[in-house]
Structure 1
Amino acid sequence: MTNKATPATGHRQIVLELNELCPSLLDRLIGEDLLPHFAALRSESEVWVTRPDVDDDTLLEPWIQWYSVHTGLPFDEHRVFHLTDGARAGHRDVFRMLLDAGRSVIDFGSMNVAPFADPDGVFIADPWSEDGRSHPGAFDVYARFVSENVREYSNAGRAMSAADYLRFLGFMVSHGLSVETVRAILAQLASEKLRESRLSWKRVMLLDRLNFDVFRAAWKKRKPDFATFFSNSVAHVQHSYWRHMDPAAFAVKPGPGEMALYRHAVRDAYVAMDRLVGGFRALAARHDATLIFATALSQQPFLRYEDKGGQNFYRLHDVDAFLREAGIAYREASPTMTHQYMLECGDAAGARAARKRLEQYTDCEGRQVFGFPAIESAPGALYFGCQISRPVDEDEQIRDGGRNRAVDFASLFYRIDALKSGRHHPDGCLWIANGNPRVHERRASILDILPTQLALAGIAVPEGLAGKPLLEHAAG
Structure 2
Amino acid sequence: MQQSGSSRPTARTVLVEFNELSPQLLDKFIAAGHLPAFQAFRDSSVVFTTDAGEDPPALEPWIQWVTVHSGLPYSEHQVFALGDGRRKLTEPLLGDVLARAGVPVGIFSSMNTNYTRRPGEAGYVVPDPWDVEGEAHPKELQPFYETVSATVQESSRDGLPGPKDLARFGLFLLRNGLRPATVKQAVAQLVDERRKGGVKWRRASVLDALNYDVFRALNKKYDVRFATFFSNSTAHYQHYYWRDMEPELFTEAGDGKHAEAVLHGYKSMDTLLGRIMADYPDALLILATALSQEPWTDTEKRTFRPRDFAELLAFAGVTGGVAKPMMAEQFVVALPDEAAAIRAEEQLAALVVGDEPVLKLDRDGNQLQVGARRAAAHDGAVVSNPVTGATKPHDELFYAIHTTRSGRHHRDGALWFRTGEHRVVPGHVSLTDIAPTILAHFGVAQPDYMKGHPLQLGATADA
Where on the TM-score scale, by shorter chain, does this alignment land: which range?
A: over 0.9
Corresponding residue for residue 59 of structure 2: 60
Give the stretch that moved more between structures: 176-185 or 314-323.
314-323
Tell me how far 1:462 sits from its aligned partner: 2.4
CA offsets 1:117-173 (integer angstroms, 9 cap, x no match): 2642110000000112101111111111111111111125x6522111111111111
C-alpha spacing 1:22/1:330, structure 2 compared with 1 (3 Å): farther
Is the alpha carbon distance of 1:159 and 1:213 closer, same or farther for their aligned partners in structure 2, counting shifts above 3 Å? closer
User: Which residue identity is paired with 1:165?
Assistant: L
Distance in 2 separating the partners of 1:200 and 1:289: 35
AA at the equivalent of 1:334? K
Partner of 1:82: 81
Q: Does 1:355 align with 2:345?
A: yes
Query: Which range moves more in the overlay, 243-252 or 328-337?
Result: 328-337
Write the distance in 2 (CA, Å) between the matches of 1:271 and 1:11.
27
Q: Deviations over 1:155-192 (max 9, x none)?
A: 25x65221111111111111111111111111111111
What does residue 293 of structure 1 align with?
287
Cα 1:174–1:121 shift into 2, 3 Å: same
Note the 1:174-185 alignment, pairs <5 A: 174-185=175-186
Let me know the Cα RMSD of the aligned residues.
2.0
Report the Cα distance in structure 2 between the residues aligned to 1:430 and 1:439, rounded to whole angstroms. 10
Matched, 1:470 2:455: yes
- Structure-to-structure mapping, 1:135-154, within 5 angstroms: 135-154=137-156
* SS of alignment partner, residue 117 of structure 1: coil
- Residue in structure 1 matching 2:393, options 408, 415, 428: 408
Q: Pick from 299, 303, 306: which aligns with 1:313?
A: 303
Per-residue displacement from partner, 1:237-278 (whole Å, max 9, x unpaired)? 000101111112211122xxx21x201110110000000000
One of 356, 359, 366 as aligned partner of 1:370:
359
| CA–CA separation in structure 2 for the residues paired with 1:101 and 1:433 | 24
3-state DSSP of counterpart to 1:107:
strand
Q: 1:128 to 1:9 in 2, by over 3 A?
A: closer
Tell me, yes or no, if structure 1 residue 302 matches structure 2 residue 290. no
Q: CA deviation at 1:231?
A: 0.3
Name the amino acid aligned to 1:368: P
CA separation of 1:63/1:465 partners in 2, compared to 1, >3 Å: closer, same or farther?
A: same
Q: 1:380 aligned to 2:381? A: no
Q: Is the 8 A contact 1:291 1:432 kept in 2?
A: yes
1:6-25 matches, within 5 Å, as: 7=7, 9=9, 11-25=11-25
Letter in 1 for 2:193: E
Counterpart Cα distance in 1 of 2:76 and 2:232: 26
Aligned 1:434-445 pairs, distance under 5 A = 434-445=419-430
SS at match of 1:419: strand
Q: Using the TM superposition, give the Cα deviation of residue 332 of structure 1 relative to its aligned residue in structure 2, in angstroms.
A: 3.3
Single out whichever of 84-93 and 326-335 deviates more from structure 2: 326-335
Query: Is 1:275 paired with 2:253?
Result: no
Structure 1 partner of 2:126: 124
**Secondary structure in 1 aligned to 2:357?**
coil
Q: Which amino acid aligns with 1:85?
A: D
CA shift, 1:379, in A, is: 2.3
Aligned-partner Cα distance in 1 for 2:336–2:409:
33
The residue number in structure 2 matching 1:226 is: 226
Shift of 1:7: 3.7
- C-alpha distance in 1 between matches for 2:448 and 2:383: 55
In structure 1, the residue matched to 2:239 is 239
* Contact 1:87 1:112 (C-alpha < 8 Å) held by counterparts: yes
Query: Structure 2 stretches of 5 or more lacking a match?
Result: none
395-404 vs 126-135, which moves further: 395-404
SS for the counterpart of 1:39 is helix
Three-state SS of the structure 1 residue aligned to 2:434 is: helix
Equivalent-residue separation in structure 2 for 1:411 and 1:369 (angstroms):
13
Match of 1:397 in 2: 382
Aligned mates of 2:57, 2:381 — CA distance in 1: 31
Q: Answer yes or no: is the 8 Å Cα contact 2:49–2:414 preserved in 1.
A: yes
> Partner of 2:157: helix, strand, or coil?
coil
Shift of 1:215: 0.5
Superposition deviation, residue 442 in structure 1: 2.9
State the match for 2:194 in structure 1: 193
Q: Which amino acid aligns with 2:359?
A: F
Aligned partner of 1:28 in structure 2 is 28
Quick one: distance in 1 between partners of 2:87 and 2:29?
40
Unaligned runs of 5+ in 1: none
Q: How far 1:8 moved relative to its partner? A: 5.1
Query: Does the 8 A contact of 2:53 with 2:411 survive in 1?
Result: no
TM-score of the superposition, structure 1-length normalised?
A: 0.91
Structure 1 residue 194, shift from structure 2 partner: 0.9
Aligned residues: 454
- Cα distance change on mapping 1:101 and 1:202 into 2, 3 Å: same
Aligned-residue offset at 1:367: 2.0
Aligned-residue identity in percent: 37
Q: Offset of 1:392 from its aligned partner?
A: 4.5
- Cα distance, 1:61 vs structure 2: 0.6
Pick one of 454, 464, 467 that aligns with 2:439. 454
1:328 aligns with 2:318: yes
Aligned partner of 2:207 in structure 1 is 207
Deviation at 1:85, TM superposition (A): 1.0
TM-score (norm 2): 0.93
The 3-state SS of whatever aligns with 1:416 is: strand
